[in-house]
A and B are shown apart, each in its own frame.
Chain A
Amino acid sequence: MTKGWTLYDPRLAWMLVAPVLLLLVVFLLLPIAMMAVYTFFTFVTAGVEESTLTLANWREFLTDSYYHGFLLKTLRVGAMTAVICGVLGYFPAYFIWATSFKHKWMLLLLLIVPFWISFTIRTFSWINILGEQGVINVALLRMGIIDEPLRMLYTEFAVIVGLVHFLLPYMILNVYVSLESIDRTLIAAARSMGCTGAQAFREVTLPLSLPGLAAGLLLCFVLAAGSYVTPQLLGSGRDALFGNLIYDTIMGQLNWPMGATLSIVLFVVLGIFAAIYTRYMGMSQIVKGLGG
């Protein structure tokens, strides 16, 4: 191997991705593999397990409808959050894209500003808004519209509000990026052939921004379904999601094998969703079409 280095040398490529690969293997693949092994360990009592291999954990998960209920609910909350984010997020993204305002970058910066505040603190803020002594209840009570404070905090509603608050910027950015990649002469072309503005939107802008919307939906769904802090802070025990169940199993019951089983379940289910979605929403197809 006396050959000199070239700019697109595969060896160079490997060297450049090596640190990331190493990081992924050590901190992602290995832990997941260890978790997978743990699912076959035997639970003895709180905090104690044996390395005797057993299928008991999997049998318990597959037969106990308690877990299935949590899983379905988690997927439902994730889906609702994603759809709400999609509906609420498309308009600001479209606005930022369409505006002739000179300082667009400022609008985009505004999207990122919330990230400067800790996610937990942002979530806590909803307690002051939705709580019994929160802004909404106090205002409604003062105005005499209600006699008793509404129960908004510690409900599924509060959880979804918190998740939407957390995930909306991701949706907006995803949609914005795909709008930005649309060649504006396409819209001029559609208009010149007889489309009104609204028709041109339906024929050109909307379909061509769907890849971004689809990517945003997937991202929001996966992040919402895998969330743990938001339902912990804003939901009651009944509004817990799968992530809270895992936390409770591991930290509360100290049942590590079962906790590992549930973790792998969530990981696999969300992974399968992402894979099927990417395959059948034809995202890669659409992206390819745009490349031409």
Chain B
Amino acid sequence: MPDTLQSTQTPRPVPAGADLSGNRATQPAVEFRDVEIAYGKFVAVRDFSLAIAKGSFVTLLGPSGCGKTTILRSIAGLVDITKGRISIGGRRVDDVPIYKRNIGLVFQSYALFPHKNVFDNVAFGLKYRNVSKAEIARKVGRALEMVRLPGSEKKLPSQLSGGQQQRIALARAIVFEPEVLLLDEPLSALDANMREEMRVEIKKIQRETGITAIFVTHDQEEALSMSDRIVVMNAGSIEQIGTPEEVYDTPATAFVADFLGKANMLAGKVSASTGTTATISLAAGQSATVVSPRPLAVGDAVTVVVRPQKLSVGKEQTSNHLSGRVLSTSYLGGSVIYEIDIGGGTMVRCHTAINGKPAREGEVIDLGFECDGCVLLDANGRRIS
């Protein structure tokens, strides 16, 4: 057997010369370098480079069909990559078959074995790792406690609720202490309440075990609330990598701004610029002065990105003012979302706390935003920095 194919359970001492990128402790748990994955002629993922730190919780976020599942499957070895390389724990895995990669997988559809009871499901990975019977029983018991389903060993998956099945799937994936835990939209089949509960639980278990987790979702709330880092993907490539705050507050592209939180995009042209601010005359007819990270050429097309939460209602002392006709009002109890036509065919969304009575549809209201409450994108939709 070639050396590289040996058991992946315990980190093997790295042969001298094989480890060129530093010592193991600082090595990323998973690393992609210029990976491309194609299904036949169709390229599902391209130019994908990403390093995932040990013990971190990383989310792949993107719309349906952008290649999130494909990336997960490539880590697990369920699809072959066509270019580049993938390393797990500093070890290149292109030639390591799936069953030797030591990966925990949680599927959207749970994928519990319907003909095996909970104990046999959870024990499955241990059975193929030369673990003694007593040790298996102990580890399974502990994993079930961790997912708060102790005593369910004898039940069949069909006798459990969706949330319980997903917990068992999680227990099954972590029980053999894999190097990486991959979760493919594990919450999307659950109802809203259950989803929030499981969110907290998954996060807690990940922290307790210190396992490196890669989580796939197209739900921005899940991504923002759970992740250490978010990888925003679109059409097979990475749009932005960053902490939840970074991707939300400073979207790198128009796609990220729109996909995370449906930001308002105000198109316009630079009419004046100093070193730190720029005045933009908006297509909607108004003009706004905003903080600019660098001087801009007068006449350049730019887009001002303003979060719905950064728009305030009323004639307040904000540095920029807009006004428009309310198209719709969604009352949410503590807050309200307006859709407002500010002219020039531009529609903005404003999510604000309620003071007094919410505005009615058809009413004309004043809006404002601070000069530093926005991000500027250039003509190609990239953030100006």
Residues of chain A at the chain B interface (Cβ within 8 Å): 183, 185-186, 188-196, 199, 203-204, 207-208, 286, 288-292
Binary contact readout B104-120 vs A (1 if CB under 8 angstroms, 0 otherwise)? 11010101011100000
In the assembled complex, the CB of A193 is this many whole angstroms from the nearest CB of chain B, namely 4
- For the complex, count residues of B whose C-beta is within 8 A of A: 27
Nearest CB of chain B from residue A195's CB, rounded to whole Å:
6
3 interchain residue pairs of minimum CB distance? A292-B158, A194-B128, A193-B125
Residues of A within 8 A of B111 (CB): 183, 185-186, 188-189
Most chain B beta-carbon neighbours within 10 Å: one of A183, A191, A193, A204? A193
Contacting pair A192 B115 (CB below 8 A): no
B124–A190 touching, CB < 8 Å: yes
5 contacts between A and B (CB under 8 A): A185-B111, A188-B78, A194-B99, A195-B99, A207-B115
Contact B99 A191 (CB under 8 A): yes
Q: Which residues of A contact B127 (CB under 8 A)?
A: 194
Among candidates A185, A193, A288, residue contacting B107 with C-beta atoms closer than 8 Å: A185
Residues of chain A within 8 A of B107, CB atoms compared:
185, 188-189
In the complex the two chains form, is A192's CB within 8 Å of B158's CB?
Answer: no
In Å, the complex CA distance between A286 and B104 comes to 27
Question: Chain B residue with minimal CB distance to A288?
Answer: B158
A residues within 8 A CB of B109? 183, 185
Q: CB-CB < 8 A to A196: which residues of B?
A: 99
- The answer to whether A192 and B114 touch across the interface, beta carbons within 8 angstroms, is no
Complex CA gap A185/B76 in Å reads 13
Contact of A192 among B101, B113, B157 (CB under 8 A): B101
Determine the distance from Cα of A185 to Cα of B127 in the docked complex, in whole angstroms: 19
CB of B63, distance to nearest CB on chain A (Å) = 22
Smallest CB gap from B114: residue in A:
A289
- Chain A residues positioned under 8 Å from B115 (CB to CB): 207-208, 286, 289
Interface residues of B in 86-103 (CB under 8 A from A): 98-101, 103
Chain B min CB distance to A89 (Å): 21
Report the minimal beta-carbon distance from B177 to chain A, rounded to whole angstroms: 12
Interface membership of chain B positions 45-88, coded 1 if the CB is closer than 8 angstroms to chain A and 0 otherwise: 00000000000000000000000000000001110000000000
In the complex, which residues of chain A have a beta carbon less than 8 angstroms from the beta carbon of B24?
none
Shortest CB distance B168–A (Å) = 12
Instruction: State the CA gap A185–B186 with chains docked (Å).
Output: 14
Residues in B with CB closer than 8 Å to A290 are 114
Name B176's contact: one of A186, A193, A199, A289 (CB within 8 Å): A193
User: Once the chains bind, are A194 and B125 in contact (CB under 8 Å)?
Assistant: yes
B129 and A194 contact, CB distance less than 8 A? yes
Tell me, yes or no, whether B364 is within 8 Å of chain A by CB: no
B172 contacts A by Cβ under 8 Å? yes
The contact of B172 among A188, A193, A208, A286, by CB within 8 Å, is: A193
Q: Is the CB of B128 within 8 A of A289?
A: no
**CB-CB under 8 A for A292 and B99, given A193-B124, A193-B176, A199-B128:** no
- Contact (Cβ within 8 A) A195 B101: no
Tell whether B6 is near chain A: CB-to-CB under 8 Å: no
- Name the prevailing secondary structure of the A interface residues: helix
A288 to B156, CA, bound (A): 11
User: Is B98's CB under 8 angstroms from A186's CB?
Assistant: no
User: Judging by beta carbons under 8 Å apart, are B128 and A192 in contact?
Assistant: no
B114 touches A195 (CB 8 A): no
Determine if B319 is an interface residue (Cβ-Cβ < 8 Å): no
Is the CB–CB distance between A204 and B113 below 8 Å? yes
What chain A residues lie within 8 Å of B78 (beta carbons)?
Answer: 188, 191-192
A185 to B105, CA, bound (A): 10
Task: Tell me the smallest distance from the CB of B73 to a CB of chain A, in Å.
Answer: 8
Residues of chain B from 130 to 157 with CB closer than 8 A to chain A in the complex: 156-157
The answer to the question of B159 belonging to the interface, with a C-beta cut-off of 8 Å to chain A, is yes
Give every chain A residue within 8 A of B100 (Cβ-Cβ): 194
Q: How far is the CA of A194 from the CA of B123 in the complex (A)?
A: 12
Residues of B within 8 A of A207 (CB): 115
Extra contacts, 7 of them, besides A185-B107, A195-B128, A208-B115 (Cβ < 8 A), are A185-B109, A186-B111, A189-B113, A194-B128, A194-B176, A204-B113, A292-B114
Q: Chain B contacts of A292 at CB under 8 A?
A: 114, 156-159
Inter-chain CA distance A27–B203, complex, in Å, is 65
Evaluate whether A192 and B105 lie within 8 angstroms (CB atoms) in the complex, with A185-B111, A208-B114 already known.
yes
**Distance to closest chain B CB from A282 (angstroms):** 11
State the Cβ distance, B79 to closest chain A Cβ, in Å. 10
Chain A contacts of B172 at CB under 8 A?
A: 193
Contact indicator A191/B158 (Cβ below 8 Å) = no
Q: Are the C-beta atoms of B76 and A192 separated by less than 8 Å?
A: yes
CB of B113 within 8 A of CB of A191, answer: no
* Bound complex: CA A192 to CA B124 (Å): 11
Residue in chain B with minimal CB distance to A286: B115
The answer for the CA separation of A194 and B124 in the assembled complex, in Å, is 9
A191 B98 Cβ-Cβ under 8 A: yes
| Residue from B115, B125, B158 having most chain A Cβ neighbours under 10 A | B115
Q: How far is the CA of A203 from the CA of B78 in the complex (A)?
A: 18
Minimum Cβ distance to chain B for residue A6 (Å)? 28
Report the separation of the CA atoms of residues A134 and B273 in the bound assembly, to the nearest whole angstrom: 99
Q: Which residue of B lies closest to A193 (CB)?
A: B125
B172 to chain A, nearest CB (A): 7
**Alpha-carbon distance between A235 and B113 when the two chains are bound, in angstroms:** 46
Residues of chain B within 8 A of A208, CB atoms compared: 114-115
CA separation between A183 and B111, bound complex, in Å?
Answer: 8
Closest to A292 in B: B158
CB distance from B110 to the nearest CB of A (A): 9
Complex Cα gap A183–B109 (Å): 9
Residues of A within 8 A of B104 (CB): 192
A199 contact set on B, CB distance < 8 A: 99, 128
Closest to B103 in A: A192
Alpha-carbon distance between A286 and B113 when the two chains are bound, in angstroms: 12
